[in-house]
Chains A and B, each alone.
Chain A
């Protein structure tokens, strides 16, 4: 049986404490790209009881995504925005969701991200990662960016880390392992990097800004 909103909130307050949970509930977080990083980040944040998630991706679920992305075989062919929204509603039915099934570009990024407090960069293409970083940190200067670089291959888990680059910019990953080197992506390591990003978001909301 699905709990009522009151029951869900009570359970969250019990686990996270009132002050911290209120900070999570009042936040809007955008997840840019819903692949291995973004699908995992969104699930962590929904479980934590974030107030609103903005989900952005242009792509559909493909069979080659299932080895690391939080979709089901039955969802192949669906837009990732719709498939992930379905999965998130099963996990945390009272998190507000807004989905944009489109590619983020120089022209639409500012409008798509306008209402977000914190933005998670979760693309897989290095040039698009750098593009979004440039837009957010130089044109949306009041917002935080939590980005990722380097989680490919089956390298040591402990090489994935979080660094604070500026007062608004956190970077997660090993900053080296590049999927274009043919080393592949493994679910556990991508999910680890996504967890670093989710923790960075929750720590910012809890006003724990230092690493």
Chain B
């Protein structure tokens, strides 16, 4: 199982890009933390989700 923003999901073996494509996240407006590190955007397509991964997707909204 992969934990994403606190929810356990059965998506082991998918890439991060494949998972994100099933969500409403706008890839240009997020950062993804995986087991304590930020995943480079250029690697979403080759980052394969493993059993036990803990992931947080952080969304940016406008204003400053």
Interface residues of A (CB under 8 A from B): 33, 35-38, 122-127, 129-130, 133-134, 137-138, 147-152, 165-167, 169, 171, 173, 175-180, 185, 190
> Could you tell me the distance between the alpha carbons of A138 and B58 in the complex, rounded to whole angstroms?
15
Q: Which of B40, B58, B62, B63 contacts A165 (CB 8 A)?
A: B58
Q: Which of B38, B41, B56, B61 contacts A126 (CB 8 A)?
A: B61
Q: Does A149 contact B38, Cβ atoms closer than 8 Å?
A: no
Q: Does B33 contact A125, Cβ atoms closer than 8 Å?
A: no
- Residues of chain A within 8 A of B10, CB atoms compared: none
B36 contacts the other chain (Cβ, under 8 Å)? Answer: yes
The 8 A CB mask of B36-58 against A (1 = contact, 0 = none) is 11111100000000000000101
Interface residues of B (CB under 8 A from A): 28-31, 33, 36-41, 56, 58-64
> Could you tell me the distance between the alpha carbons of A177 and B62 in the complex, rounded to whole angstroms?
8
> Could you tell me the distance between the alpha carbons of A178 and B56 in the complex, rounded to whole angstroms?
20
- Residues of chain A within 8 A of B56, CB atoms compared: 165
- Residues of chain A within 8 A of B37, CB atoms compared: 166
Q: Which of B28, B31, B61 contacts A178 (CB 8 A)?
A: B61
Q: How many pairs, one residue from A and one from B, have CB atoms within 8 Å of each other in the complex?
A: 86
- Residues of chain A within 8 A of B28, CB atoms compared: 126-127, 130
> Could you tell me the distance between the alpha carbons of A127 and B28 in the complex, rounded to whole angstroms?
5
Q: Does A123 contact B64, Cβ atoms closer than 8 Å?
A: yes
Q: Does B58 contact A150, Cβ atoms closer than 8 Å?
A: no
Closest 3 CB pairs of A and B: A124-B64, A179-B63, A178-B61
- With contact pairs A130-B60, A149-B60 given, residues A166 and B29 touching in the complex (Cβ less than 8 Å): no
Q: Which of A35, A171, A185 contacts B58 (CB 8 A)?
A: A171
- Residues of chain B within 8 A of A171, CB atoms compared: 58
